[in-house]
Amino acid sequence: MTLTIPALRARGAKRRRRRPLAVTLAIAFLLAAAATGALAPLLAPHSPDATSLLDSLAPPGTAGHLLGTDSTGRDVLSRLMYGARLSLLAPLGVVLLSGVLGTALGLLAARAGGWVDAVLSRLMDIVFAFPSLLLAMLVVAVFGPGLTAPICALAVSYTPFLGRVVRSVAIQEGARPYMESYRAMGFGELRTTVRHLLPNMTPVLLAQSALSFGYAMVDLASLSYLGLGVRPPAADWGSMISQAQSAILQGAPGSGLIPGVAVLLTVVSVNVLGEHIGGSIARRGEGT
Amino acid sequence: MTSETPVLSVSSLVKRFGDVTAVDGVGFELMPGASLGIVGESGSGKTTTARILAGLDEPTSGTVLLAGEPVTGRSRRARLHRARLLQMIFQDPYGSFDPRQTIAESVAEPIRLHLPDLSGADRRARVAELLDQVGLSERAGGSPPRELSGGQRQRAAIARALGIRPRVLVLDEAVAALDVSIQAQILTLLDSLRRDTGIAYVFVSHDLAVVRHITDTAVVMRHGRIVERGDTETILRDPQHPYTRLLLDSIPVPGWDLDRVARDRRALDASR
């Protein structure tokens, strides 16, 4: 165990390189969003579902309703906080599912090669060519609305996105001499792949996952907007935007704009973070 | 097993990649503690031969006997059996370590695989002993590979290969990527390791000066075939095959006649 300490120290020194302001802001925003979602019952001033027709369409800044109310008088701030749960967790589910699937398929294709690679690669091309939203709508049409079906559908359609990257990086990394030297030492393919190849690919996986998180969030918001995702009255940012349509026509854009900005900021933050992780891979590549 | 059994015995080895025959009927024997050079230029099939020995490529036909027993396939048993007896050192000392592991962790890996019953303390002691044997400090052992020089990494690769006490070490251009002064150090290290441990070397190289230093016998390969074999000294002093002469003439020395080398090469290529 003591032997790993210099390596850790070297890594720590690298991390201390100045982090760009945008990345710090992105991390801060994502942490804050996650925290408000987790602590919504404590932080929210009202119940997210409490309607009050007398207070409907209050503009932001109204006493008692900091961000105003929607057309049925529900508090926008409270709904935004509770909405953060589904709006962040659902894309996370998509990313995790497609991450596991994509990594497994990509690694299998890269390491097995031959016809396995050919079949898996063509399969991923086919799924890749199919529009993800269309697939999700198809699945919802079959299984009915709710979050599970669209999450699974999006995960499947995002799998090639990660799988193809994993495959090409695994082929590249697998050709490096250290992988061969482990083979010559008598180690099996599975063990070298899982213990040596995969850990050396994690930055790529993280960067790709961050990008798909952004896509998944927008896609899920679109599904909610179309009324195919979250079932009312449960709050999520996409359905909040969709329910605010009539309010926008009535000259009260707040209840729709605010969740829209929340989606926008989250997606931008995640992408900034992904870019940053991707950039540090490039730097590492120059270093060695 | 008597000392008369060759530790490595290769016969009529053939490897084809599509239409190209990279190795064509190669055969040789290696006695315990001996050192054999495989000489030839790029594309002569020497690296492919080395890779087949290490189990990284499967031969199209032919047999490889290790300590008198045939080795084939990549089943777990075959893999472990082969690796126990034969280890390989690669040309590129920069890429042959997992960048995420310290040198000591990398050196410990094969010991962990082949001697799973060894306790953690014993394994650490063995690693320390190995690092010491190849002249690496404890500090170097605790470093990630990127903090080591090429020569240090090649020392570490040797330590890693020796960890499970193989009887044959295949060195594929093992010093080609190093500075000349570092080359000499590594060759001296290899020499003394062979004297101390009785390990046998298959030394693949295009560098005749290096081969002369490290091997007793040698084979010269061209287009996948062995064109000359014998004592290294004899081959290098009195080459019989025109290709060996050409290789020797290609070394830059005072009074070097580049035109003659080019002429000889054309004549040799035409004769084939």
- Taking an 8 Å cut-off on Cβ atoms, the answer to whether A184 and B104 are in contact is no
Contacts of B120 in chain A (CB under 8 A): none
- Calpha distance A90→A230 (Å, rounded): 10
- pLDDT at A219 (0 to 100): 86
- Taking an 8 Å cut-off on Cβ atoms, the answer to whether A184 and B144 are in contact is no
Domain ranges of chain A: 27-36+69-284
For B22-47, the pLDDT digits (tens) are: 888 898 999 998 999 998 888 888 88
Q: Which helix (H) or strand (E) holds B29?
A: strand B20-30
Structure tokens at A254: 């707040």
Task: Using pLDDT thresholds of 50, 70 and 90, give the confidence band for residue B3.
Answer: low
Task: Using pLDDT thresholds of 50, 70 and 90, give the confidence band for residue B156.
Answer: very high
Among residues of chain B, what percentage have pLDDT more than 70? 99
- Calpha distance B159→B189 (Å, rounded): 11
Contacts of B139 in chain A (CB under 8 A): 6
Q: State mean pLDDT over B178-193.
A: 88
- Taking an 8 Å cut-off on Cβ atoms, the answer to whether A184 and B102 are in contact is no
- Taking an 8 Å cut-off on Cβ atoms, the answer to whether A186 and B99 are in contact is no
* Exposure letters B76-89 (e unless 16+ CB within 10 A, then b): eeebbbbbbbbbbb
Q: State mean pLDDT over B256-266.
A: 80
Q: Can you list the alpha helix ranges (DSSP code H) found in chain B?
A: 46-53, 76-85, 103-114, 120-133, 138-141, 150-162, 180-197, 208-214, 232-237, 242-249, 258-271
- pLDDT at A166 (0 to 100): 92
Contacts of A56 (CB under 8 A, 6+ apart): A69, A70, A71, A72, A73
Cβ of B157 under 8 Å from any chain A Cβ?
yes
Q: Where are the beta strands (DSSP E) in A126-232?
A: none
Task: Using pLDDT thresholds of 50, 70 and 90, give the confidence band for residue B81.
Answer: confident
Residue of B nearest to A286 (CA): B146
**Range name among A193-197, A277-281, A282-286 with the lowest pLDDT average:** A282-286
- Taking an 8 Å cut-off on Cβ atoms, the answer to whether A186 and B79 are in contact is yes
- Calpha distance B207→B236 (Å, rounded): 12
Is the pLDDT assigned to residue A13 strictly greater than 60?
Answer: no
- Calpha distance B179→A238 (Å, rounded): 63
| Residues 41-80, chain A, touching B (beta carbon < 8 A) | none
Query: Which residue's entry shows tokens 């890779």?
Result: B51
Q: Which CATH number fits domain A27-36+69-284: 1.10.287.110, 1.10.260.40, 4.10.80.400, 1.10.3720.10?
A: 1.10.3720.10
Backbone angles phi, psi at B161, to 5 degrees: -70, -30
Structure tokens at A205: 């996986």
Task: Using pLDDT thresholds of 50, 70 and 90, give the confidence band for residue A3.
Answer: very low
Q: Which of A187, A200, A287 is facing B146, going by the closest CB pair?
A: A287
Cβ of A182 under 8 Å from any chain B Cβ?
yes
ipTM beyond cut 0.90: no
Q: State mean pLDDT over B46-64.
A: 89
Q: Which of A3, A185, A200 is facing B100, going by the closest CB pair?
A: A200
Query: Which residue's entry shows tokens 């193809």?
Result: A164
Q: State mean pLDDT over A117-140.
A: 87
For residue B145, the distance in angstroms to the closest alpha carbon of chain A comes to 10
Contacts of B92 in chain A (CB under 8 A): 177
- pLDDT at A287 (0 to 100): 40
- Calpha distance B237→B216 (Å, rounded): 13
Query: Strand, helix or coil at B33?
Result: coil
Cβ of B76 under 8 Å from any chain A Cβ?
yes
- Taking an 8 Å cut-off on Cβ atoms, the answer to whether B98 and A287 are in contact is no
Q: Are A64 and A45 in contact (CB under 8 A)?
A: yes
Size of interface A-B (CB pairs under 8 A): 82
Q: Which of B54, B113, B143 is facing A6, going by the closest CB pair?
A: B143
Higher pLDDT: A245 or B137? It is B137
For A184-222, the pLDDT digits (tens) are: 888 888 888 888 888 888 888 888 888 888 888 888 888
B152 half-sphere exposure, CB direction, 13 A CA radius? 17
Structure tokens at A285: 């590549």
Structure tokens at B74: 């990549």
Q: State mean pLDDT over B80-95.
A: 87
**Beta strand pairing status for B225-231 and B8-17?**
unpaired
Q: Which of B55, B84, B114 is facing A184, going by the closest CB pair?
A: B55
- pLDDT at B201 (0 to 100): 93
- pLDDT at A106 (0 to 100): 92
Q: How many CB atoms lie within 10 A of CB A90?
A: 26
- Calpha distance A249→A254 (Å, rounded): 11
Q: State mean pLDDT over B105-127.
A: 89
Average pLDDT, chain A: 80
- Taking an 8 Å cut-off on Cβ atoms, the answer to whether A177 and B96 are in contact is yes
Cβ of B244 under 8 Å from any chain A Cβ?
no
CA angle B161, B165, B167 (to 5 degrees): 95
Instruction: Spell out the SS3 assignment of B223-243.
Output: CCEEEEEEEHHHHHHCCCCHH
Q: Are B193 and B89 in contact (CB under 8 A)?
A: no
- Taking an 8 Å cut-off on Cβ atoms, the answer to whether B142 and A7 are in contact is yes
- Calpha distance B229→B232 (Å, rounded): 8
CA proximity to B45, closest of B220, B249, B272, B263: B220
Structure tokens at A52: 């009050």
Burial class (CB in 10 A: 0-12, 13-18, 19+), B135: middle
Test mutation, A8, A178, A189, chain B, max B CBs within 10 A:
A178
Q: Helices B103-114 and B76-85 sit at what angle, rounded to 10 degrees?
A: 120
Cβ of A180 under 8 Å from any chain B Cβ?
yes
For residue A176, the distance in angstroms to the closest alpha carbon of chain B comes to 6
Task: Using pLDDT thresholds of 50, 70 and 90, give the confidence band for residue A288.
Answer: very low
For residue B40, the distance in angstroms to the closest alpha carbon of chain A comes to 22
For residue A191, the distance in angstroms to the closest alpha carbon of chain B comes to 11
Q: Are A170 and A107 in contact (CB under 8 A)?
A: yes
Residue of A nearest to B103 (CA): A3
**Range name among A1-10, A88-97, B65-74 with the lowest pLDDT average:** A1-10
- Taking an 8 Å cut-off on Cβ atoms, the answer to whether B83 and A200 are in contact is no
**Range name among A242-246, B44-48, B239-243 with the lowest pLDDT average:** A242-246
Task: Using pLDDT thresholds of 50, 70 and 90, give the confidence band for residue A4.
Answer: very low
